[in-house]
Structure 1
Amino acid sequence: MTDAWLRCRTPRHSPSARLVCLPHAGGTAGPYAAWGAGLSDDMELSAVQYPGREDRLAEPPADDLGTLVTGLSAALLPLTERPLVLFGHSFGAVVAYETARRLTAWGAAPDHLVVSGRRAPSLPSSGDMHTRPDDDLVAELVRLGGTRGDVLADSAVRDVYLPAVRADFKLAETYHRPASPPLGCPVTAVIGRTDTEVDEAQARVWDAHTTGPFALHAFPGGHFYFTPRREPVLRLLADITRSAAATGVRARLESENLS
């Protein structure tokens, strides 16, 4: 099950911590999995492959967030024997948050949640892009900056790519957070300063969704701020993962000493 969900290009023999990246709407594991080469040898990075794209193209895209989260959480559960950091961008931030909630309910809470380019879950979701014609959906992808318009000019490419995009947009735009207690792990929100999808005030509301420490980082750029600033973003994620590793080791030692 883990093999279906996770792609790891740079596996480590005995990582001190793991970083798992969850893509944006319509996104694939490939670009995020490539980030692993930029981390130190004691950190292992995996990227999530949602159904309905790339090597999971034969599977239908998820039409229910709960089902998506259950499958992903089951795949991540074996990884929680070591400190685990979740990083989700945009739609991926919603999936990461709900996955953190599910793992917490299963007694295997992540050690840190990093949410990128997404307003806090208690703020209402909106939008009807998932109901719009293909041309409108393509225009929105180009506006956000995650896709080149010429790539989607080909109708055959659209037929393959847009069903997953539309399905993800539907889950993101119709998402409503269920009443639930806050997480206990640290939460870090990351945004682009000129992102039209989330501003600093909306990102700060993530603080209310954890009893643990909260931090907010803003980088120059828009919704895909990390594309031109990959190195500083990777340094931030590496620092967070390194801190999770240190904290996780201490917590495990304290637990063993008390038992």
Structure 2
Amino acid sequence: MGRLSVIKTGPIATVQDFGRFGYRRYGIPQSGAMDRQMMIAANQFVGNPENFPVIEFALMGIELEALEETVISVVGASLKVNGQVKGKCEKVSVGDKVSVSSPMFVYGYLGMGGSIQAKEDFGSVSTYERAGFGGMDGRRLQTGDVLVSNGEGEISVQVDIPTRENAELVTIRIMKGPEWNLLKELPSFESFQVDGSSDRMGIRLTGARLACDYQEIASSAVIPGTIQLPADGQPIILMNDCQTTGGYPRIGKVFVEDLGRLAQMKPGKKVRMVRVEN
């Protein structure tokens, strides 16, 4: 068993696993880690199955104190123990001070050997704040919380960490959506910018207005990766905490494999969408 006490945390740090599946017909979002590949790497470093819960954090890092011997990992940020720089995975002892930096991109992940204990709702411990599902009583981490895992874990060094671009322009692949034909002309999708209002619900893009025979459609199913087009012509790419239905035209869908890369793009970065025939 491992135990870590939260000394300090940033504004956005939550427990996440792969998310909830099979409940969208009841209006329950998927949630789960925004960058699944990084979450998997954090679990692999400590010898866990890929879908075990992790701590996902954004904007700022986390400071913790070990209350019991615990194997921990950090992916997407740097790790210090008692002020000393460490690698991606480390075994900490009682009293050790753990410092995790702000994420290198948008989201970083902290893993613990064994399964982090959290509230389970609808088959997942992923935090969904709007309904109070999962995590630490449905909320973000806060000072004084104690993270408990139910296993020992083991240090692994043979882990592939996914590459995330820090370039000014990142290309993502999309396919046509059900309302693609409402577009007045085939768009170039060149160099939209990630807007600062983006969050776990959706990535808002700004740029050239997409011309569309605009009409609100009957409320229809949407999923993470769906590209909605509001009346202002500025696309919204829905992400993990998105609603289950929507009335904006669904002009496209981002490839699942590219969603983690998209999630890690900071505000101001440019996105080029390339359509792949489907």
| TM-score, normalisation: structure 2 | 0.23
Judging by fraction of residues, say which structure has more strand. 2
Q: Which has the larger radius of gyration?
A: 2
Q: Greater helix percent: which structure?
A: 1
TM-score, normalised by the number of residues in structure 1: 0.24
